[in-house]
Amino acid sequence: QVQLVESGGGLVQAGGSLRLSCAASGRTFGTYAMGWFRQAPGKEREFVAGISWTGRQTYYQDSVKGRFTISRDNAKNTVYLQMNSLKPEDTAVYSCAANSGPYYRPSEPSEYDYWGQGTQVTVSS
């Protein structure tokens, strides 16, 4: 069983930056594609960013492309989300997720087998 723990959330003003981390258990982390999702109160969960197990391919929701960067360090069993130029509409609980299957469609929640509990990101206007 894989455990994912997010950290790095907080309160920032618009235009500021945060770096989220997702620490994963297990020796097979390096074989998992990883993703970040977010959900605001009363809103549907939405895909934010994804990364292949090799780290060679990255994927982004259009609204965050150019502002957010997903990366991973397999030696540390950790995936990161660097968030720059934050906007109030970025406010949400951010969760990381892991895909352990042979195929990966980054924006599809059903592709992910394990989920973290989330970390709150609040951006003031």
The bridge status of strand 78-83 relative to strand 46-51 is unpaired
Whole-angstrom distance, CA of residue 79 vs CA of residue 87: 22
> Which pLDDT score is estimated for 31?
84
Count Cβ atoms below 10 Å from residue 74 Cβ, excluding itself: 15
Count the residues in the chain: 125
> Which pLDDT score is estimated for 104?
79
Numbers of helices and strands, H then E, in the chain: 0, 11
pLDDT in 10s for each residue of the chain, 125 residues: 789 999 999 999 999 999 999 999 877 778 899 999 999 999 999 999 999 988 999 999 999 999 999 999 988 999 999 999 999 999 999 999 999 887 779 999 999 999 999 999 999 99
Asked if 95 and 6 count as a contact pair (C-beta separation under 8 A), the reply is yes
